[in-house]
Every structure is written in structure tokens, then in C-alpha cells.
Amino acid sequence: MNVIIFGPPGAGKGTQANNLVKKYNLYQISTGDLLRSEVSNKTDIGRNIENIISKGDFATDEIVNELIQNVVSNPQKKNKLIFDGYPRSLSQAKNLDILLNSSNQKIDFIFFLNVKKDTIIKRIEKRKILEKRADDNLQTILKRYDTYMETTKPVLDFYSKNPNFYEIDGSVKIDEISSKIEQILSV
Ligand code: AMP
């Protein structure tokens, strides 16, 4: 199965994706991780996006789609994909449909982790201390939230019409969220 975990920054997408990777033997595709690795490996893409990411803006669809294409076309990962942080714009969502179609795949489940802004701010402030991410300061968090709301809202509208779309309360405990997701997957 292929799964999308969707939601604002700090909603717990990475945590839930990690859990599903272990339980269902999936591959986690985090565009944030892919982009950060380009930055730390100082590739051409990395040099291009370093500033963009640290300001809380989005990398271009072109760059992100290229990184995703390599993963979706990998036969080893076919039908075992869990997308975390992608798609984040309508054009990325449409691109993903095209890529999956061309390798005879589809999205089986879409989970939207819904969390309010004040909860997210508290969570990211905690993560800042634990993970020391360059984009985890308050100003960037607010910017990331606003960018998310602006650019990602159309993606939400696009997916919420899908029968495989599930909205989950992302403000409850990690284990509670995991069991809700697993319950849906087991039906
Ligand atoms: P994340 O780890 O998912 O919170 O992503 C960290 C940062 O990477 C974001 O704030 C964006 O600057 C960039 N990024 C991650 N995923 C995408 C994407 N799908 N499209 C554009 N930019 C992205």
C-alpha cells in the first residue's frame, strides 16, 4: 500500500510515518529529509535551497518533484511508500498522481493530522531543543505555518474529496494517533 501523511509542520507526520514504516514494512519518503540531505552533502540542489529552507519558504516544485521521481520509480519500493511532507502544493499532488500512474501505483490512504497553531508552536519549540533544526525558531515556525496554510490548503481540498481520505485529531497522544491510523489500515 501507498500512504500519504499530511498536515502542518509539527503535526507529528514524521513520528507517525516512522511507526508505519516499522509496522508495515514501508519506505518513508520525507521531502524535508531528502532536501536536508542535499544541503548537508553540498550538492548543486543543496546550495540552491539552503537559504530557502532556513527561511521557511518552499523549495521549488521542480526540485522536489525530481527527488520524488527517483523514489517512486524504484521497483524495490513499489507499493510500499509512505509520503511525509509531500505533496505540499496542488502541482505536487497532481505530479504525484502522474508519477504513480506511470508505474501502475496509486494512493491507498491519505491521513490528515489536524493540529491547531498554538499546539504546533509548543511542539516545535520542544523539538528545537531535541533536534537542533536550523528552521525551528519561532519566526520560521510561524512563517512555515503560514506558508503551509496558503500553499497546502488547496491540496487538502483536492484530497478531502477522495474516499481514502481520513482526518485524524493530531493533538492527542502519539500512541492514540497511531492506534487510530492502524485501526483504519486494518479494515
Ligand atoms: P519538513 O521536514 O517536512 O518540515 O520540511 C522542512 C522544509 O523543507 C520546509 O519548510 C520546506 O522549506 C522544505 N520542504 C519539505 N518538503 C517540501 C515540499 N514537498 N515542497 C517544497 N518544500 C519542501
Residue 35: phi and psi, rounded to 5, are -70, -40
- For ligand 1, whether the C-beta of 168 sits within 6 Å is no
- For ligand 1, whether the C-beta of 13 sits within 6 Å is no
Structural domain that includes position 110: 3-185
Residues in the chain: 187
Residue 101: give its domain's CATH number: 3.40.50.300
- For ligand 1, whether the C-beta of 85 sits within 6 Å is yes
Closest residue by CA, ligand 1 atom 15: 32
Cα 30 to Cα 166: distance, rounded to the nearest angstrom? 20
Q: What pLDDT score was predicted for residue 55?
A: 86
Atom of ligand 1 nearest to the CA of 9: 4
Q: Could you read off the pLDDT of 119-132 as tens digits, one per residue?
A: 888 877 777 777 77
Count the domains in the chain.
1
- For ligand 1, whether the C-beta of 32 sits within 6 Å is yes
Q: What percentage of the chain has pLDDT greater than the value 70?
A: 98
- For ligand 1, whether the C-beta of 10 sits within 6 Å is no
Specify the pTM: 0.87
Q: What pLDDT score was predicted for residue 10?
A: 82
Q: What pLDDT score was predicted for residue 162?
A: 93
How far is ligand 1, taken at its centre, from the CA of residue 31, in Å?
6
Provide CB contacts within 8 A for 45, sequence distance 6+: 35, 38, 63, 67
Q: Could you read off the pLDDT of 130-144 as tens digits, one per residue?
A: 777 677 777 887 888
Mean pLDDT by 10 residues, the chain (187 residues): 92 93 95 94 95 90 92 95 93 95 96 90 76 74 82 90 95 95 93
- For ligand 1, whether the C-beta of 155 sits within 6 Å is no
Environment class of 11 (CB within 10 Å of its CB; exposed 0-12, middle 13-18, buried 19+) = buried
CA 129 to each of CA 126, 167, 170: distance values in angstroms, whole numbers, following the listed order = 6, 29, 21
Beta carbons of 178 and 16 less than 8 angstroms apart: yes
